[in-house]
Amino acid sequence: MNSASVKAGPSPLPKDLHYDSWRGNVELSDPIQHPLDAELSALCQRFAASDLPTRSQLRNSASLDDFYTLLSFGRRSAVFAMRGRRREHVVDGLTAVAMITRDRVDFRGPLVTLALLHYATRAIGEHPHELFQHAASLAESKMSDLILGFLERSEEERDLRKSWGHAVVETKGGPGFVGWGFKSYQPTYPLDQLALALAQLLKRDKYGRATVTLATELPPFWLSSVDDKALKPVLTAVRGAVCVNAELRPQESADYKHQVIMIFLAELEDEAAAGSLFRLSQEKQARPKDFVMAAAQEGRLFCLAVARSFTAGKAGFETQVSLQRFSAGIAEVLKSQHQN
């Protein structure tokens, strides 16, 4: 067994505090301060002030779950750095990355965290090179190379949207991060704000772990086999689309792991195109299929909610009737764009 995989002592992270994904603790659009944040900040500062043997001891005592908790903390730190314009949050977040053994995690996790922290560093007017180099000096050799290697990337390779699939959104609490899907995105309506409102609609119901992704597409699959000759040209009139994904909460069903709900929101070039999509959705609802759906239209906006079990042989939690409970809420969200 690799010696790096053998724990050298009890976990340095607190035993009684954890981020809860079902409570939104790992979502980055609008995170709320958690007691664990202060504990991990103190741990990072202790780690940074320690000598090399002590840092190695702390690192080798951490479990794989601990490492992924540190990555969540690092990403949350990027958000709080932007909101408070505080360098200390960036320093803590980078130190959290430096505490991780590179070979024990998927390397993409630290890289995404570094991308968010790099963006936050610049957003608050600090110099990434200084802070990243200091973090690299605290890390084991392979993680140090990863941190310094990020600095050597081109501007395009460090670009949050183009290379890392994230975008910045403004919320009542301040800036946050959501997903970015790389599709053409030229909306005139605040689709990001509407998507965040739709995510809240799901979380007030029976769903959690709601994630928002901008610059997605409206997949033709959900509306196909009704009038595909009409569907194809209408989809070319999409100015921009966003998607909200959420999972059924565990207490709602023994099969919660097999359930998913998605809400697609698209802005069309004109009201007629949005109306065509709505018509197709109404006809599709009446046909037998392995998923259920609800749709709404408001002017040039079209919204489609889809729920299904993604595992063969597992029944869907929602029915065509039950899913309609979201219709009024979706309509209200779409109408709210007139107030923006």
The per-residue pLDDT for range 17-35, each reduced to its tens digit, is: 999 999 999 999 999 999 9
Does 137 score more than 50 pLDDT? Answer: yes
Q: What is the mean pLDDT of residues 226-235?
A: 94
Give 214's pLDDT tier (boundaries 50, 70, 90): very high
Q: What's the chain's average pLDDT? A: 94
Strand order in the sheet with 207-214: 166-171, 174-180, 207-214, 238-248, 259-268, 301-309, 292-298
Q: 229: Cβ–Cβ under 8 A, 6 or more apart, which residues?
A: none
Measure the CA–CA gap between 114 and 187, rounded to whole angstroms. Answer: 29
Q: What is the mean pLDDT of residues 44-62?
A: 97
In DSSP notation, 106-120 reads -THHHHHHHHHHHHH
Interior CA angle at 320 toward 315 and 326, to 5°? 115
Tell me the residue type at 61.
Answer: S
Does 8 score more than 70 pLDDT? Answer: no
> What was the pLDDT predicted at 339?
61
Compute the 3-state secondary structure of the chain and give helix, strand, coil in percent, each to the nearest 5. 55, 15, 30
Give 287's pLDDT tier (boundaries 50, 70, 90): confident
Q: What would the 3-class secondary structure string for 177-228 be?
A: EEEECCCCCCCCCCHHHHHHHHHHHHHCCCEEEEEEEECCCCCHHHHCCCCH
Q: 157: Cβ–Cβ under 8 A, 6 or more apart, which residues?
A: 163
Give 337's pLDDT tier (boundaries 50, 70, 90): confident
Does 312 score more than 80 pLDDT? Answer: no
Name the token pair of 92. Answer: 């803590």
Residue 282: closest CA among 240, 222, 330, 198: 222
In DSSP notation, 68-98 reads HHHHHHHHHHHHHHHHHT-HHHHHHHHHHHH
Give 226's pLDDT tier (boundaries 50, 70, 90): very high
Measure the CA–CA gap between 308 and 257, rounded to whole angstroms. Answer: 11
Looking at the chain, the whole-number percentage of residues with pLDDT higher than 90 is 91
> What was the pLDDT predicted at 313?
76
> What was the pLDDT predicted at 4?
44
Domain ranges in the chain with CATH number 3.40.1000: 181-339
**Contact indicator for 77, 92 with CB cutoff of 8 Å:** yes
Q: Is pTM beyond 0.85 here?
A: yes
Name the token pair of 150. Answer: 């990020």
> What was the pLDDT predicted at 340?
54
Does 1 score more than 60 pLDDT? Answer: no
Does 2 score more than 60 pLDDT? Answer: no
> What was the pLDDT predicted at 81?
98
**Contact indicator for 172, 183 with CB cutoff of 8 Å:** no
Q: What is the mean pLDDT of residues 101-123?
A: 97
In DSSP notation, 261-311 reads EEEEEEEESSHHHHHHHHHHHHHHHTS--SSEEEEEEETTEEEEEEEEESS
Does 65 score more than 70 pLDDT? Answer: yes
Fold of 181-339: Protein Transport Mog1p; Chain A (3.40.1000)
**Contact indicator for 43, 13 with CB cutoff of 8 Å:** yes
Q: What is the mean pLDDT of residues 169-190?
A: 96
Measure the CA–CA gap between 262 and 244, rounded to whole angstroms. Answer: 6
Does 167 score more than 50 pLDDT? Answer: yes
